Amino acid sequence: QVQLVESGGGLVQAGGSLRLSCAVSGSIFSINVMGWYRQAPGKQRELVALIPSGGSTNYTDSVKGRFTISRDNAKNTVRLQMNSLKPEDTAVYYCNAVLRVDVHDPYHAYWGQGTQVTVSS
């Protein structure tokens, strides 16, 4: 069974940094897009950053210049380096991966359980 396990969330002061990691485990044939989403209380889930297997990274405007997404294909992991954190970054952050478990299977999306990021002012 494919699982996405996140780590690195926590409490940090404004201006500080956190690094989120997500490890994809299970029998996997290939991973296409990996990304991070977040959801603040009372708001819809929003895209934070994407990193396709062979394309350019993509960020929502509010995090450009502060967040960096990267991936390690050998380890099936994706990382989100978050610098200059602001209170408005406070949210549950979710890892996402579009993958297929076998060459004969279609790609579809898997989600992590979410990790809380809280930025104090």
81-120: pLDDT as tens digits:
999 999 999 999 999 999 999 999 999 999 999 999 999 9
Handedness of CA 94, 99, 101, 106 (dihedral sign): positive
Q: Are 96 and 107 in contact (CB under 8 A)?
A: no
Q: How far apart are CA 117 and CA 10, in angstroms?
A: 5
- Encode pLDDT of 42-80 as tens digits: 999 999 999 999 878 999 999 999 999 999 999 999 999
CA distances 63 to 27, 68, 98, 102, Å, are 33, 9, 22, 35
* pLDDT, position 54: 84
Lookup: tokens for 52: 């396709």
Nearest to 94 by CA among 2, 28, 9: 9
Cβ contact 112:4 at 8 Å? yes
Here the tokens at position 38 are 């977040």
Output the pLDDT for position 79: 97
Q: Taking Cα atoms as reference points, which of 89, 69, 75 lies closest to residue 24?
A: 75
Query: Which pLDDT does position 16 carry in this prediction?
Result: 98
- Token duo for residue 96: 């996402």
pLDDT at 55: 74
- Give tens-digit pLDDT for 1-49: 899 999 999 999 999 999 999 999 999 999 999 999 999 999 999 999 9
pLDDT number for residue 104: 93
